[in-house]
Amino acid sequence: MTFARASLALLALAGLARAQSDDASYEQVATIQENFPAALITPTYFPDSWFDIQGVLNVSFGGVSVGNIGDRLNLDQVQTSPTYRISTETKHADDADTFDGERRFTVAFLDTFVAGKDFGGKVNIHGLGNDYAVGDNGSLTNRSINAVPYAAPNPPANDGPHRYVQLVIQQFPNFTAPELGFTGAVGVNQSFVDYYNNAKGGLGKVVAANYIQIEVGQAAAPATTAAPAPSAVSSLAAQKSAAVSLPPSNEASTSGTSSGSSAKPSSTGAGSGSGSGTSGAMSVGAAPLAAMAGMGAAAILGALLL
C-alpha cells in the first residue's frame, strides 16, 4: 500500500462524507413545504405557488433554538430578536448558487393567527427586512436597516395557538421595497400578498421557511390541523428531485413562480433541522457517489486501493 493511494482513499471518503452531510434530502425540504398547507397557513395567507423550499431555516431567539417546525414556545422565550441560519441545502440549490453570498433575500416574521381564523388573508407583521445575505456559516445578515424592527409576539389571551411564520424570499436586483401601509411597531392586519405584488417582480420564491406557535392561556383552535400526508411529501420530493437546476432569475412574476427549483439549502424542519420528524436520507445527487455510499467504507477503501 503506498502513501499516495492511502491518502487518495481517505480523501475520497472525506469527500463522500461532506457530500452526504452538505446536501439536504428532497424528502426533508418537501416535508417542510408540506407543513404549511397542513397547518392551514397556505393558501389562506400566501399562495402555495410562492413556495419552493430548498433549504433548512434554523431560527434562534438568543439561547433558545427552534427544534422542529411548528414548535410551541412561550412569551419569555421569544423576547430576543431572532437570528436565522440556512443549515443545509439541496443539490439543486447548491448547483444554482441560490444561497450564494452575492444573493439577497427578504426575511419576514409574520403572525398568521390561529388555524381556522381568517382575517381576509391579512397578517400581523412583527419583523421585515430586505437585503439579507447568507454568510459562510449559513447565517442570514441584513445588509441594510430592517423595514420593520422585530416586535416580540404578544397574542391575546385565550385565543388559541398563534402561528408565527418566518419566510426567506428571493430578492432580485430589480427589487425596490414597497411602501408600508402602517407606522406602528407592528403592522396589524396587513396584506403580505399586496406587499409581495407591489415589489413588481422583485421578489421570487420562498426558498426557506419555518414557523412557531405561541399561546397565552388556553383555547381550542376553530380548525384541526394534521401532519403532512406521506404521499404528498413523497410526490413533492420526486418533483423537486426531477426539477432542472436553474439560477435565480430577476424576471419573477408577482406569483413568484419564475425561479423554478433554484433554491439551495434544505432540511427536515426548522431550527435544528429535525423538522417534523421525517428526516429522510441525505441525497448526494451524483450517481457515482450514491453508488459509493451503498458500498460502505471498507468496500470503498478496497476499491480505491486495488
Whether the predicted pLDDT of 292 surpasses 50: no
Work out the pLDDT band at 244, boundaries 50, 70, 90: low
Q: What is the pLDDT of residue 220?
A: 86
- 254 shares a domain with 173: yes
- 158 shares a domain with 111: yes
Q: What is the pLDDT of residue 245?
A: 52
Q: What is the pLDDT of residue 138?
A: 96
79 contacts 88 by C-beta, under 8 angstroms: no
CATH of the domain at 150: 3.90.280.10
203-214 and 71-73 strand pairing: parallel
- 76 shares a domain with 65: yes
- 167 shares a domain with 19: no
- 6 shares a domain with 105: no
Domain of 13 in residue numbering reads as: 1-23+286-306
- Arithmetic mean of pLDDT, 15-33: 73
Whether the predicted pLDDT of 200 surpasses 80: yes
Cα within 13 Å of Cα(270), Cβ side: 29
- 52 shares a domain with 7: no
Cβ contacts of 249 within 8 Å, gap of 6 or more:
172, 204, 258, 259, 262
Q: What is the pLDDT of residue 47?
A: 97
- Arithmetic mean of pLDDT, 44-56: 97
> E strands, 48-138, where?
55-61, 64-65, 71-73, 82-89, 104-111, 123-134
- 259 shares a domain with 120: yes
- 226 shares a domain with 80: yes
Whether the predicted pLDDT of 106 surpasses 50: yes
Please write the tens of the pLDDT for every residue from 245-281. 555 544 433 333 333 333 333 333 333 343 333 333 3
Q: What is the pLDDT of residue 248?
A: 52
Please write the tens of the pLDDT for every residue from 69-79. 999 999 999 99
Q: Which residue has the higher pLDDT, 120 or 13?
A: 120
Please write the tens of the pLDDT for every residue from 160-198. 999 999 999 999 999 999 999 888 789 999 999 999 999
Whether the predicted pLDDT of 290 surpasses 60: no
- 1 shares a domain with 143: no
Whether the predicted pLDDT of 7 surpasses 90: no
- 15 shares a domain with 143: no
Number of domains in the chain: 2
- 301 shares a domain with 203: no
- 130 shares a domain with 87: yes
Q: What is the pTM of this model?
A: 0.76
